[in-house]
Amino acid sequence: MANRTDAQRMNQLREALHHHNYRYYTLDNPEISDTEYDSLMQELTQLEAENPELITTDSPTLRVGHAPASSFETVTHQAPLLSLANAFDKAELEAFMARVTRWAERPVDFVCELKIDGLAVSLSYEAGVFVRGATRGDGQAGEDITQNLRTVGSIPLRLTEALDINVRGEVFMPRADFLKFNELRKEQEEQLFANPRNAAAGSLRQLDPRITASRKLDIFVYGVGSLTGYPIHTHLAGLEILKTLGFKTNAQIKHCEDVEDIWQFIMEWTDKRPHLPYDIDGIVIKVNDLALQEKLGATAKSPRWAIAYKFPAEQVVTRVVDIQVQVGRTGAITPLAYLEPVLVAGSTVSRATLHNEDIVRAKDIRIGDYVVVQKAGDVIPEIIRPIVERRTGQEVEFKMPQLCPACSGETARIAGEAATRCVNTLCSAQQFEGIVHFAARNAMDIDGMGPAVVEQLIQAQFVNTIADLYALTFDQLISLTRFGKKSADNLLRAIADSKHRPLSRVIFALGIRLVGTEVSRDLANTFATMERLRQASFEELTAIDAVGDKIAQSVIAFFAQTQNQQLVKKLAEAGVNMGALTNTTQTTDQVFAGLTFVITGKFERLSRNTVSDRLRQLGAHVASTVSGKTDYLLAGEKAGSKRSKASELGITVLSEDQFYKFLAKRGVDFDQ
């Protein structure tokens, strides 16, 4: 048992180290030398080794990382962590401000901030102690990367006040540290990261926190997600409170009254951007009044009270070394330009898509051309034009291949379409892309079935089609590179679990051209079974609001092919859900037609995705934000601000237990 003196000394050391971390990482004004700091840390580490029962969850020793995790758990955000809508010029900013002012029916003030180019994270504290951190994910739920975030020195493990608070921030890697990091990787003959953003994201998604701890990551916290018992009325006041609590915020902010103030700030940082020690890709403009933010709400993807101005794309000149083609999931053959590597907007570009043959012809891009390249929205490399005056006569015109480069099958271009396609549905390139799509998170969600694993399975000839996934054996997986007993068991379990995905997911996973997630839901809700969908006529399909002529033709063409019919049959024989309804669900199907549900918080019995999918099967509309059109709010643990808004609007709020009772009264067995 620990003695009292050790316990007291450990508390003193933790307090001292928290203080010095704050001085070093947040204020950039250390009071002691690195040697003195290391001495304090070594003493605490030794005492914790001797008294493991006294280790606390906010101990500074956690900065070095814990043992590796086997995977990341999913965390439901207390309030949605949405991405921002973009503006690319002054006119779009003026339109945004006009919309906000019109909705507010009064003058509105704004706050401008630098848009840090990193990885958005959510940080949760209970009684002032850091308990959980997650990635943005899909905005509603992200990956639990708590152990990795604990290693980031500028994230306080304990706040100056014992508050329950959730905050949002951007983790990034400073440019100087990124260059050093890539130099080290080059020396070790490891693949280089393209830019600091990718390096930060890759570092935070390491299963071993000790790897994350070895990399120089930083954070700027930019907003409050939720806060208990501490009234805040403006965004600026929230930033001041964050600083008081010990968070690192960015000093480059401006309170603006009109578009000219905002534009001046944008122009200032467009010029100053290259001189910052970290990357930014734009300016964020937010409504300052938090009550107005709440009133404005959000769309399914982004808040209405904020917008991101994206800097104009940086343009550079490089040379086209070659033009080759790649085959996509639907057989589309896309020309790809291979370039002499060039630095654009902070990352090295060596390839750029040319989209289709018509664009190559229209821009007259040839092999050997010097070309102007930019990154559209600072993300996608794009060739703007060739520099014709630099041609030597040695340039070669591109010709679309007559045969598929992957399978040597015939290619065709359907009238009215820009894409040339491989018509062989058994093409190896299409199979690879199709299996990757099938296993993706928004499809069958087979955890561990990424592109590298799919490539191994195809090369080993264990898998040729998506149906073959369900015939994989332990012995086959264990024979693959980097597969151990645990990883093989986990993948087989994930494959087995995927059999129970709702019909809408299965339809989307099939990869029918033009059929996305929303159309898949509509098809599942309308036809209820895969067999009924297979037999659907053009008139029945186009009777669905979201289904136009092209989508209907694509669905019919898919099921008309013998190999696709056989594929669906094999999936059904493997036990994949094809939507066959039981007597119970037949009597309750569409029981929630016309009702709108919003889901928030964490649930014990089922995941939020499962609840959403099942509600849609029963006819409900599932929205992302609470409004006057909402009928019910399904609120799990840590429901956050949506519960408050629902109460204000008089909307019925159901806890998880109440929800299942609510279902039982209506004869619904929700688990079916």
Res. 171: pLDDT tops 90: yes
What pLDDT does 265 receive?
96
Band (pLDDT 50/70/90 cuts) for residue 586 is: very low
User: Considering the domain 428-498 in this protein, what is its CATH number?
Assistant: 1.10.150.20
Q: What is the mean pLDDT of residues 16-20?
A: 83
Residue scoring higher pLDDT (413 or 246):
246
Asked if residue 573 has pLDDT above 90, the reply is yes
- Say how far apart CA 153 and CA 159 lie, in whole Å: 14
Give the angle 135-137-138 at the CA atoms, nearest 5°: 150
Would you call 282 helix, strand, or coil by DSSP?
strand
Task: Compute how many other C-beta atoms are within 10 angstroms of the C-beta atom of residue 135.
Answer: 24
More confident residue, 535 or 50: 535
Query: What architecture (CATH level 2) is domain 315-397?
Result: Beta Barrel (2.40)
The pLDDT, as a whole number, for residue 345 is: 67
**Distance separating alpha carbons of residues 323 and 325, to the nearest angstrom:** 7
Helices (H), 22-174: 34-50, 90-104, 146-149
Query: And the tokens for 514?
Result: 């033009």
> Is the pLDDT confidence value at 588 over 50?
no
- pLDDT at residue 25, rounded to an integer: 63
Task: Please provide the CATH number assigned to the domain covering 4-64.
Answer: 1.10.287.610
Confirm whether 428-498 and 503-573 share one CATH topology.
Answer: yes
* Vertex 668: Cα angle to 666 and 670 (nearest 5): 140
pLDDT in tens, 29-69: 778 876 777 778 778 878 887 887 888 877 877 765 555 55
Q: What is the average per-residue pLDDT within 339-362?
A: 85
Please count the residues of the chain. 672
Residue linked to tokens 């995705």? 609
Do strands 652-654 and 632-635 pair parallel, antiparallel, or not at all (unpaired)? parallel
Q: Which two structure tokens, joined as six digits, stand for 139? A: 């905005």
HSE at residue 12, side-chain half, CA atoms within 13 A, is 9
All structural domains of the chain with their residue ranges: 4-64, 86-310, 315-397, 428-498, 503-573, 583-665
Of 316, 319, 312, the closest CA to residue 378 belongs to 312
Look over the chain and give the mean of its residue pLDDT values, rounded to a whole number: 86
pLDDT category, 613, cuts 50, 70, 90?
confident
State residue 329's pLDDT score: 82
Catalytic status, residue 115: yes
Mean pLDDT within 431-445: 90
E strand residue ranges, 3-118: 74-76, 86-87, 110-116
DSSP classification of residue 459: H
Q: What is the pLDDT of residues 205-221, one digit of tens each?
A: 888 888 888 889 999 99
State the residue for tokens 């597969």: 483
The CATH code of the domain at 86-310 is 3.30.470.30
Across residues 503-530, what is the average pLDDT?
Answer: 89
- Can you identify the CATH homologous superfamily of domain 503-573? 5' to 3' exonuclease, C-terminal subdomain (1.10.150.20)
First and final C-alpha spacing in the chain: 52
Give the CATH fold of the 583-665 domain: Rossmann fold (3.40.50)
Q: Please, are residues 178 and 91 in contact by the beta-carbon 8 Å criterion? A: no
Strands 110-116 and 253-256 come out as antiparallel
- What pLDDT was estimated at residue 603? 78
Q: Which residue has the higher pLDDT, 528 or 609?
A: 528
**Taking Cα atoms as reference points, which of 204, 201, 179 lies closest to residue 192?**
179
Residue 239: other Cβ atoms inside 10 A: 21
What is the three-class DSSP state of 495?
A: helix
Mean pLDDT of 553-566: 90
132 or 331: which leads in pLDDT:
132
d(CA 145, CA 154) in angstroms, rounded, equals: 16
Pick the catalytic residue from 90, 115, 216, 638.
115
Residue 269 has pLDDT above 70, yes or no: yes
